[in-house]
Structure 1
Amino acid sequence: MIYLDYAATTPMRKEVLHAFQEAAKKYYGNPSSLHDIGTEANEALELCREQLAGTIQGNKDGVYFTSGGSESNILAIRSLIEANRKKGNHLITTDAEHSSVHNLFKQLEEEGYEVTYLSVDGGGQIDLADFQNALRKDTILASIHHGNSEIGAVQPILEIGKILKEHQIIFHTDCVQSYGKVPIDVNQNYIDSLSVSSHKIYGPKGIGMCYINPRVNWKSQYKGTTHEKGFRPGTVDVPSILAFTAAAQMMHQEMEGQRRRDLHLRMKLVNGLKELSNQFVVEGNDDMDKQLPHIVGLSFLQAQGQYIMLECNRYGLAVSTGSACQVGQQSPSRTMLSMGKTVDDAKQLIRISFGKMTTEEQITQTIQTIGKVLKTLQKINLSQLNWL
């Protein structure tokens, strides 16, 4: 099977798997233990903290290890707003956030917070004028994702960060899709907090990083917790963190070369599909400075994305719809709805995402497979017309 769902998760690299195995043998101690074995594990943990901070130009004291991107988002946002609640009761986010952020803000509304949800334009970006107009004196925090998980649109985080800095509003950004794909500088972009997940960059699942600027106050969500300075309870998984760090270092070393590869593969895919049919739309931004090239959102005008995805799977091609399926029915993509699409249009999205192992031959086969699916679909539509 051809795997083109790297935005969902990635396989562990062999180098990362090796790093994990060696670390599990050597650094099995609890880093909170005071004996020598625990001390060795803690020294390795602090080295990882320093190296990961370096990948975002941050301070090692702001790095906290979590179970992944979702937990990082939830703990960061809750810890920050509770520590700064005296400022007000208003929060800002977008309609196109990852479900972990979107569901959290819905819950915060039930708890009494006021939330402004911003829509995005046809390229998937927020309107900065709308964003500025949403700011209030009682705004505590804004959570705006960096790279969109459904269509790959990149938000203007530098401009967002500047605006929030001027108004002394906390800026959290979900960087799960963008980390390791584009450079991230927390200082240059005025980012107070961000989230990252290991399994998106060929590291192990179940480990992630949350960064909070040490100058920004946060409040622990777990009374009495001592691990990770009270940010998250539980014995820290040092071997997984070492493997995560190895994956992060390799991703950043290869970032520019991989981006060029992704751009080439994207062009090959889109141009090949255009030769087959004009019954699809490439979602996102034409300006590649505003787009993650490895994520290609495609809306097929003849069918729901779930049908296209399932037919591709039948032919040995793994892609995804733009949103999760529940009880056999595809939910409409919230990103597409935020862009102004109808519910029916929002269900037409599929997502194709490339990775390190993606080859030109696989892209050629993908074009051929989608061509077969479209031909089958055309026959179905013609038979329905004849029946009518």
Structure 2
Amino acid sequence: MIYLDHAATTPMSRTALDVYVKAAEEFFANPSSLHEQGDKTKQLLDKCRSELSQLIHAHSDEIYFTSGGTESNIRALQSLYLGCKDKGNHVITTVLEHPSVQSFFVDLEKNGVEVTYLGVDTNGVISIEELEKSLRSDTILASIQHINSEIGVIQPIREIGNLLKKHGVLFHSDCVQSFGKIPIEVDTFSIDAISISSHKVYGPKGVGAVYLSRNTPWKAVDAFTSHEGGFRPGTVNTPGIAAFTTAAVDAVHQLDNSIKYMWELRALLINELSDISHLITIEGGTDSEKQLPHIIGLGIKGIEGQYMLLTLDRHGVCISTGSACQAGKQDPSIAMKALGKSTQEAKRFFRISLGRHTTQEEIIETAKQMKACVYEKEGIKHDRQTKMAWGRTEK
């Protein structure tokens, strides 16, 4: 099996799995319990909070553990909004956000809050000028993702944060796809809150975290909540948090070598597909400052993304046709709609997402199967002369 769907989830690392088992065996007590075993578990939880905070240049008391990226997004936004809703009635987001973020803003609209949805350019990047023009005296909150899960485009978070801070607007960013892949430094980002997730960095599913600046006002969503400083109810998943922290530390420490390797694999795939390059659209652009190499959004003329997915799956290659959270829905992907694609163009979209265990041989084999799919679909014999003739007629 060739697994190329790491943006959806990553396999749990052996190190994280070992830590999970050990923590489950030795630190099973409730960290809120007052006995010795409870205190022992609390000490482990505090250690994890401290280690995770250091990875993003935060303080340990600014980290709140959750059940994953979706809850992190929703609860962070709810808490921030409750803390500032009396100051205005206008909020800002983008047309490219994760469904969990979109659902929050749709709910606000239903309750009479005015929402501005920023558009993006052909590569998926927002305009700082448009953002500045959308700011009003009653703007209180903005949520703009760091990296898009479908096309890998990187938003200029530092510049966005500086602008919003200047105007006194609270700023949250969904960093689920960026954490552990590119540097995140909340102390220089002028950011109030970020959301991260464990299973995107080779940790267990069902665990995530929110960074909330100690200088930012927020209010608890649920009354009488005592866990996680009142941020969320429920006993924390101590083994999951320990494994998440282990996986996160490994990911951040390998960051420089990892991103270099991802660019090499990305270049290899594109090169291996050069025979059909005239039929391929690569979404998100090629600017290394605005693109995460791990995520490759593609479209091939004459081939629906679903057809490519099923064809590759028959040959043991796992890819996707967009965000896993939108799987099974008939509507075009969020990214394709945001980029203004036609229905036909949107249906062509599929995503290849690379991981630390992806090999060059797997990339070469995947490209081979992709080209075979194109040739078979078009009834083209796979030889150099025919390909050259086909290329001339298609142009």
What TM-score comes out, normalization by structure 1 length? 0.95
Which string of whole-angstrom CA distances, capped at 9 and with x for unpartnered residues, describes residues 148-169 of structure 1? 0000000000110010010010
Partner in structure 1 of residue 91 of structure 2: 91
Q: CA deviation at 1:106?
A: 1.0
Aligned equivalent of 1:228 = 228
**Counterparts of 1:3 and 1:298, CA distance in 2:** 17
Per-residue CA deviation, residues 92-115 of structure 1 (Å, 9 max, x unaligned), is 001110111112211111122111
The residue number in structure 2 matching 1:181 is 181
- Matched with 2:4 is 4
Q: CA deviation at 1:9?
A: 0.1
Is 1:38 aligned with 2:2? no
Q: Which residue of 2 aligns with 1:169?
A: 169
Percent of paired sites with the same residue:
48
Which residue identity does 2:306 align to in structure 1? Q
SS at match of 2:211: strand
Contact 1:332 1:344 in 2 (8 A): no
CA distance, structure 1, for counterparts of residue 301 and residue 276 of structure 2: 14
What is the RMSD of the two structures over their aligned residues, measured on CA atoms? 1.4
Report SS of the residue matched to 2:278. Answer: coil
Task: Tell me which residue corresponds to 2:156.
Answer: 156
1:323 is displaced (CA, Å) by: 4.4
**For 1:250-269, what per-residue CA distance to the aligned partner results, in whole angstroms no more than 9, with x for missing partners?**
00110000001000000000
Structure 1 equivalent of residue 392 of structure 2: none
Tell me what 1:371 maps to: 371
Contact 2:125/2:155 (8 A) holds in 1: yes
What does residue range 167-246 of structure 1 map to in structure 2 within 5 Å?
167-246=167-246
SS at match of 2:210: strand
State the match for 1:121 in structure 2: 121
Alignment of 1:354 onto 2:363: no
Determine if contact 2:99/2:325 at 8 Å carries over to the other structure. no
Where does the alignment leave 5 or more consecutive residues of structure 2 unmatched? 381-395
Shift in CA distance, 66/328, structure 1 to aligned 2, threshold 3 Å: closer
Residue 326 (structure 1) shift: 7.4
How far does residue 343 in structure 1 lie from its aligned partner after superposition? 2.5
Q: Which amino acid aligns with 1:171?
A: F
CA contact (8 A) 2:32 2:42 kept: yes
Compute the displacement of 1:304 (Å).
2.0
Give the partner amino acid of 1:73. N
Whichever residue aligns with residue 122 of structure 1, its letter is T
1:311 has 2:307 as partner: no
Query: 1:342-381 CA distances to partner (integer Å, 9 max, x unpaired)?
Result: 222122111000001100000010001101111121129x
When normalised by structure 2's length, the TM-score is 0.94
1:220, CA displacement in angstroms?
0.7
Equivalent residue for 1:273? 273
Render the CA deviation track for 1:230-280: whole Å, top value 9, x for unaligned. Answer: 111111111110100000100011000000100000000011112244211
* 2:100 match: 100
**Residue number in structure 2 paired with 1:385:** none
Q: Is the 8 A contact 2:80 2:219 kept in 1?
A: yes
Q: What is the distance in 2 between the residues matched to 1:156 and 1:26?
A: 43
Q: Which moved more, 1:327-336 or 1:189-198?
A: 327-336
Q: What are the equivalent positions in structure 2 for 1:268-347 lying under 5 Å apart?
A: 268-323=268-323, 330-347=330-347
Please list the CA deviations of residues 29-53 of structure 1 after superposition, one character each: whole Å capped at 9, or x if unmatched.
1000000000010011011111111
